[in-house]
Structure 1
Amino acid sequence: MFSPTGRHRAPRRRSGAGRLLTRASTAAATLALPVVGASVASAADGGTYTVAPGDSLSKIAAKHGVEGGWSKLYASNRAAVGGNPDLIKVGTKLKLSGTAAKPKQRAARSAERPAVRAAAGDAVRPVSGGTLTAGFGAGGSHWARAHTGQDFAVPVGTAVRAARGGTVVKAGWGGAYGYEVVIRHHSGSYTQYAHLSQIRVAEGSSVDAGERIGRSGATGNVTGPHLHFEVRATPNYGSAVDPMAWLRRHGAFD
């Protein structure tokens, strides 16, 4: 059961370090977490892979079809990775034992994307179905200021999709927002998807309009499961614009 009135509370200020490290999820979310470091690396032959910026164990395991997923990949490379699987370093060489054929992996990724994609420049709804609850500018005790986004009341686990194509600039823990993804679009605007139970992209990833980026949840400060969708002029809190007007302008709503 889920509450159709789920809301999030105003975010608290976070330190720079807090944005780079991902906290353990009480919802047991499966995350694609950013690596630390900034040097350039590439894939290698012979069943090994060199970690590159933006990689995570889950992303590498999915890309190369590692049987057993990221946990098997971590178990095979624990000595190289260290005690924290969320903080793999750029340049680390990993053994890709138990990989499946790459054509199957490409087919699997294609299946994750919707059969009908938005035309260039058009937007899609971030979730299918659900109920529009707290809107942009709403007031109340749940927020320090007026509400900065549009809430969609949906059950935990509902597919969340990129409203437009762009590049992921944040993917991880967002304090009061719980697990969040922020995407920079080609137009210069940003969209935020908050309170997620699962994240399927990493910082630096390119996404298409309609591509699944995670699943809805109830992480962070909420009163019930929902997606908080926000449109911003910058990647950060405090620059929000009306998300429903933006979605209508780009064809996602009538």
Structure 2
Amino acid sequence: MPAKGKHRRPKSSSSLTRGFVAAGTGGAALALPLIGATGAHAAEKGAAPVALPQEAPKAQLPQQRTALPQQVAPAAPAAAPSAASAASAPKTDTRTYSVVSGDSLSKIAADQDVRGGWQKVYGDNKKVVGEDPSLIFPGMKLTLGGKTPAAAEQKASAPVPQQQRTERVERTEQRTEKRTENRVEQRSEKRTEQRTESKRQTQRSGFSAPVPSGVSTPYRASGGSWSSGYHTGVDFRASSGTPVKAVAAGTVVSAGWGGAYGNEVVIRHNDGRYSQYAHLSALGVRSGQSVSGGQQIGYSGSTGNSTGPHLHFEIRTGPGYGSDIDPLGYLRSNGVPL
């Protein structure tokens, strides 16, 4: 029997210096080390309690989020141009215009309704027109309605200093003088070529035209101006004082006044035909004189029954009036181009 009043602690079968307490959490065992005590009295002496682990937090599953497509707001429609801005917008349709006689850039701009006026037309076509906007020619091709760079438009619309205007006028006058000189030279060269060709023809065939000009009244033209009722020769255009030449070699039959024919010369040629030259202002040969083809025999005029300066020319089978034949046919048959 135990002693009265005394308590005895039963001795454990085995002393644990270190032990493990297993705490179950959701079926999982967690082994925790315990600090061993030599006796149960350690708890009574105020040993620090051992904190048991609390329930382990549940594993957090990642939240699956489905990204919903965001609705894109439709773009706002572009504002339609106002009627005022559309009306003020310049025309952009490009077209080609051919300059005609009497045109100017300002007239073309007004007639063709070009916004920007002549400055716009000039800016679009400066390479074609050149430095002088007032110098355009018939047949020149201009582009209307094209898009001109702003700098070119400003330059074209800028006021031209007086010195530049003077220089432009001088250049224009120089170009005009040059063109005039070229035309004069071309006409002179053409006349020289015609005279040279006439001499060659005379040397080849011995025949030539009486004057280097065209016909104003043909042979056999009818009318009351002639006593026979028709024209017995041809009239060549010739101003007063134009040299008149013998169409072929021959002998002068008559040289003097011929009534309605005024001053005239009649020549008998080697083939038996006669040529007449009437309304002369002056005579250069006398009766009985021998002449060669192409030799000058007088000057054209308007003597006798004449309405103005010209040369009346006939070819006859005899020396007198009424034996006429086609004068142009005669000259052409002898190699004279008319």
Q: TM-score, normalised by structure 2?
A: 0.40
Q: 1:132 aligned to 206, 211, 215, which one?
A: 215
CA distance in 1, matches of 2:251, 2:206: 16
CA distance in 2, matches of 1:183, 1:126: 12
Q: 1:175 aligned to 259, 262, 282, which one?
A: 259
Structure in which a larger fraction of residues adopt helix:
2
The corresponding residue for 2:291 is 207
1:220 counterpart = 2:300: no
- Contact kept? 1:123, 1:163, Cα under 8 Å: yes
CA distance in 2, matches of 1:172, 1:249: 29
Q: Deviations over 1:26-85 (max 9, x none)?
A: xxxxxxxxxxxxxxxxxxxxxxxxxxxxxxxxxxxxxxxxxxxxxxxxxxxxxxxxxxxx
CA distance in 1, matches of 2:304, 2:294: 25
Tell me whether 210-219 or 117-126 shows the greater mean CA deviation.
Answer: 117-126
- Contact kept? 1:150, 1:229, Cα under 8 Å: yes
SS of equivalent residue, structure 2 residue 282: strand
CA distance in 1, matches of 2:301, 2:200: 25
The corresponding residue for 2:172 is none
CA distance in 2, matches of 1:115, 1:251: 12
CA distance in 2, matches of 1:167, 1:215: 18
Q: 2:271 aligned to 187, 197, 204, which one?
A: 187
- Contact kept? 1:149, 1:231, Cα under 8 Å: yes
Q: TM-score, normalised by structure 1?
A: 0.53
CA distance in 2, matches of 1:121, 1:207: 15
Look up the equivalent residue of 1:253 and give its one-letter code. Answer: P
- The number of residues matched between the two structures is 140
- Contact kept? 1:117, 1:209, Cα under 8 Å: no
SS of equivalent residue, structure 1 residue 221: coil
Q: Deviations over 1:178-211 (max 9, x none)?
A: 0000000000000000000010100010000000
SS of equivalent residue, structure 1 residue 248: helix
Tell me whether 208-217 or 244-253 shows the greater mean CA deviation.
Answer: 244-253
SS of equivalent residue, structure 2 residue 332: helix
- With over 3 angstroms needed to count, the CA separation of the structure-2 counterparts of 1:115 and 1:240, relative to structure 1, is closer
Structure number with greater CO (CA < 8 Å, separation at least 6) is 1
How far residue 253 of structure 1 moved from its aligned partner, in angstroms, is 1.7
Larger radius of gyration: 2
1:141 counterpart = 2:229: no
- Contact kept? 1:160, 1:214, Cα under 8 Å: yes
CA distance in 1, matches of 2:337, 2:231: 20
- Contact kept? 2:208, 2:294, Cα under 8 Å: yes
SS of equivalent residue, structure 2 residue 281: strand
The corresponding residue for 1:155 is 239
Look up the equivalent residue of 2:248 and give its one-letter code. Answer: R
The corresponding residue for 1:21 is none
The corresponding residue for 1:239 is 323
- Contact kept? 2:206, 2:249, Cα under 8 Å: no
- With over 3 angstroms needed to count, the CA separation of the structure-2 counterparts of 1:120 and 1:233, relative to structure 1, is farther
Q: Give the share of equivalent positions with the same residue, in percent.
A: 50
Q: How does 1:42-57 map to 2 (within 5 A)?
A: none
Look up the equivalent residue of 2:332 and give its one-letter code. Answer: R
- With over 3 angstroms needed to count, the CA separation of the structure-2 counterparts of 1:242 and 1:117, relative to structure 1, is closer
- Contact kept? 2:281, 2:302, Cα under 8 Å: yes
How far residue 122 of structure 1 moved from its aligned partner, in angstroms, is 3.4
Q: Deviations over 1:186-245 (max 9, x none)?
A: 000000000000101000100000000000000000111100000000000000000010
Q: Deviations over 1:140-192 (max 9, x none)?
A: 12112211001012100000000000000000000000000000000000000
Q: Deviations over 1:75-99 (max 9, x none)?
A: xxxxxxxxxxxxxxxxxxxxxxxxx
How far residue 119 of structure 1 moved from its aligned partner, in angstroms, is 2.9
The corresponding residue for 1:164 is 248
